[in-house]
Amino acid sequence: MLEVFIATEKDTTIKSRQRKASFVGQVGIRCVYCVPQLDAKERADRAYMYPTSVSKFYQSVNDMIHYHMVSCCAIPPKLRNTYNSLSAARRVCDTRLRANAPLNPKEFWEKCCLDWGMVDSVGEKVGVKLSENHTMVPRSRKEFLTELQSAGHH
């Protein structure tokens, strides 16, 4: 439901609901349903975010889950129902699972970001960027939309 993306020149100039990329190449996260389909003014709040550091990635994802996913009109109803069911089930087992987990959720997200090659950009360009030896795989928007359409998500 969310995807990691790399900011382009356009992302640094377009400001929507007080959010825009600080620099070309900044790592962001966005909703795969409303960002490609809806005009910025039609999207629910927090359709995309730019974490200011790898350690804040978890909080950005959490904010999107709590504020965007509950109100995004572009998420297909069947997927929303499945998401809501899974979210309710997860809340029931969270306490037991976390007690035995080697990492808490924030540490898990930070480790994943670092493993993928994300690093903090400091100085004039504050945010997250990819290191030269990152393991993220580029994927075109057209290719992704084609996959969504063939899977029945319009």
- In a 13 Å sphere around the CA of 15, the CA atoms on its Cβ side amount to 2
> For position 30, what pLDDT does the model report?
92
Q: What is the dihedral of CA 99, 52, 7, 125, to 10 degrees?
A: -150
Domain of 138, in residue numbers? 2-150
Please say whether the beta carbons of 48 and 31 come within 8 A. Answer: yes
Distance of CA 6 to the CA centre of its chain: 11
Overall domain count for the chain: 1
pLDDT digits (tens, 9 = 90+) for 63-115: 998 899 889 999 999 988 888 887 766 655 555 556 666 778 889 889 999 99
Asked if residue 10 has pLDDT above 90, the reply is no
**What whole-number percentage of the chain has pLDDT above 70?**
77
Q: For 7-153, where are the E strands, in sequence order?
A: 27-31, 48-49, 118-121, 127-130
